[in-house]
A and B are shown apart, each in its own frame.
Chain A
Amino acid sequence: MATISQVFKNRTPAPRFHLRLSEPQRTAIAFLAPALLIFSIFVLWPIIKSVRYSLYDWNGVGPLSDFIGVNNYEDLLHDKVFWKALKNNGIVVIWSLGTQIPLGVGLALLLTRGLKGSSFFRTLYFVPMVLSEVIVGVIWRWIYQPFFGMANAALLELGLDKQGWLGDEKQVLLCILVVATWRYLGFYIVIFIAAIQGIPEEYYEAASIDGANAFQRHRYITIPQLIPTIRVASVLMIVGALKSFDLVWVLSQGGPSHASELVATYMFKEAFSSNNWGYGSTIAFTLFLIAFVLAITFIFFTRQKKDT
Chain B
Amino acid sequence: MERAYSPVRILVMLGIILVLIMADHLSSPTFAFNSGQGNVQTALSQRDETACAPCGAPCPSTRD
A, B from the same assembly: no
Residues of B bordering A, CB below 8 Å: none
